[in-house]
Amino acid sequence: MIREVAWRLFASEYNDANLEAEGTGERPPSYIVTPLGAKVNRVFVVGVITDVENVGTDGQPMWRARVSDPTGTFHVYAGQYQPEAAATLSKLKPPVFGAIVGKSRIYSPQPGTTYTSIRPETIKAVDETVRDFWILEACRSLRKRLNAMGEAQKMDPLTKEGLVKIGVKEAIADGIVQAMNHYGRVDLSRYTAMLAEGLRYLLPEYREPIAPGEPVVEAAAPAKEEPPREPDESEAKVLEIIASLDKDGKGAPWEGILENATSKGVSKDSLEESINTLLDKGLIYEPILGRMKKI
């Protein structure tokens, strides 16, 4: 029994997955295969734990944590069979950078609908440097799969052996073939944009929302293709509004944000969209219902 590797992958790729696969052996491990062919049994995630909630009962608690990375949100569930992780989660005070090692889970309440989640083995509060290193590793891992998938899409017919011949490791080649059979030809540009987004998240020249009135500094290497999910102008405005209205540290009230945004020319629809994106990116969170707080 060789220990399963802990995959570093972004929430957005993980949540795109809806294929389950079973391994071989006496107690076959189960995997989630992502559209890029990552065959995931164990994951290692570092992100911002934005909220922790007991979605079970007091007698039988089930702790749910949302963990956001630059691309989306992981859902982590710990109950009575993960006592250590559950105990750690119940004591955490979000927002906090958290490192989670856990097993991949997929849940399908009805055909056509699937939810991916993580069943944690270990949870630990960490600092920003650990999170930044994780993003870098997740980017590297994503780039490797993008390259391999790019080669795979050129192959006709696609075989595991063909991939191994061009230097793809067997375990990865296996996942790629399964992914191609299930998802077909996935649009790689979406994942290339995700990779760029992850990398830009690490770079201060892209990270700081630009305050209105300040001269706009053109980045040294302008992107040829603007990915659709870059923090845009209205997101920067909303982020600023939230920061300015958060006077007591409990977060900015929704009504105030809406009023302020409207006066700055941001429509309600665009505001809601910005808030959702900022939540997904882990730049803000909702400490209590109806209040937004900058991380």
Which residues contact another protein by CB under 8 A?
A: 1-8, 44, 46, 99, 101, 121-122, 124, 126, 129-130, 132-133, 135-137, 139-141, 143, 169, 171, 192, 195-196, 199-200, 202-204, 221, 223-225
Angle between helical axes of 268-281 and 254-263 (0-180°, round to 10): 120
Nearest to 146 by CA among 183, 200, 194: 194
Report in angstroms how near the CB of residue 134 gets to another protein at its nearest: 8
- In the bound state with another protein, the residue whose beta carbon lies nearer, of 195 and 252, is 195
Report in angstroms how near the CB of residue 9 gets to another protein at its nearest: 9
Whether omega for the bond prior to residue 29 falls within 30 degrees of 0, making it cis, is no
- In the bound state with another protein, the residue whose beta carbon lies nearer, of 131 and 237, is 131
E strands, 216-280, are 252-253
- In the bound state with another protein, the residue whose beta carbon lies nearer, of 64 and 200, is 200
Three-state DSSP at 101 gives: strand
Report in angstroms how near the CB of residue 79 gets to another protein at its nearest: 20
Report in angstroms how near the CB of residue 164 gets to another protein at its nearest: 12
Distance CA 159, CA 84 (A): 43
Report in angstroms how near the CB of residue 138 gets to another protein at its nearest: 9
Report in angstroms how near the CB of residue 133 gets to another protein at its nearest: 5
- In the bound state with another protein, the residue whose beta carbon lies nearer, of 76 and 292, is 76
Nearest to 69 by CA among 194, 187, 190: 194
Q: Residue 52 corresponds to which tokens in the numbers above? A: 């922790």
Provide the 8-state DSSP code for 283. Answer: S
- In the bound state with another protein, the residue whose beta carbon lies nearer, of 8 and 294, is 8
- In the bound state with another protein, the residue whose beta carbon lies nearer, of 64 and 144, is 144
Whether omega for the bond prior to residue 253 falls within 30 degrees of 0, making it cis, is no
Give yes or no for a contact between 285 and 291, defined as CB atoms under 8 angstroms apart.
no
| Rg of the chain taking only CA atoms, in angstroms | 20
Distance CA 231, CA 235 (A): 6
